[in-house]
Chain A
Amino acid sequence: MVEGLVNEVKLHREAAALTQIGLAERMGVSRKTVNTVENGVFAPSIVVALKFAKALNVSVEDLFQLRD
């Protein structure tokens, strides 16, 4: 797990009625990227974080926050 990072990707993906594969295709990345980020296994780069935000139509801060 990535220490100190909280992400709400799954919440926003489900709200957008997207599967992991659907979101991955919209972002142009693999399903594995979506899966590992959602599960907190992998901390994405700024570029991939921005792709998540764009694909889900939210801000990066809505998706990723530092744990207090």
Chain B
Amino acid sequence: MANEFEKAEKFGKARAQAAPFIGALILALQQGIIFGWDWEATSSGALLQVGLWLFFAIVMLLLLLTGGGWFLDKKARAIANDEPSVSSRQRAIKIGFVVSLVTCFLVVAISPFDPLPAQRAAHIIASTGLGTAFVALGMSELFAHG
């Protein structure tokens, strides 16, 4: 039976390895690699797609903000979300925020030439911010684990 330290270590490594892939998945979803988007459609299929993406994005945001490990016991979770992890997350959130803002600036600059539906613009901004934050988190955590 693994103790809290072993559980936290195992979870921390898994999180570090998964984070860049989660980031890549978020960016891939934005680029329509996984499935195509029919922007501003109101069919039940399109609404389901939007609902699923919103659910996924909200869970990813909560994962980024809390560090995850929701099903670990309290002590293992506290060990897994230690000071270096909190520092990595704060850095990743800062990077994601800056990337989101830069994406906003680009959307504003491009809109006169290639108008974007509001839903698509918001999707691009949220995806680039979340995606880069996860990639940054993964890189930082992998480095910290040594």
Interface residue total, chain B, C-beta cutoff 8 A: 15
Question: What is the size category of the interface that chain A forms with chain B?
Answer: 10 to 19
A residues in contact (CB < 8 Å) with B: 21, 24-25, 28-33, 35-36, 39, 41-42, 44-45, 48
Residue B82 contacts which of A25, A29, A39, A41 (CB distance < 8 angstroms)? A29
Given contacts A36-B84, A44-B83, contact A30 B5 (CB under 8 A): yes
> Which 7 pairs, one residue from A and one from B, show the smallest C-beta to C-beta distance?
A36-B84, A30-B82, A42-B84, A30-B79, A33-B82, A36-B144, A35-B146
Assess whether B146 is in contact with A39, with CB atoms less than 8 Å apart. yes
The answer to whether B85 and A32 touch across the interface, beta carbons within 8 angstroms, is yes
Mark interface residues in B1-36 (1 if CB within 8 Å of A CB, else 0).
Answer: 000010011001000000000000000000000000
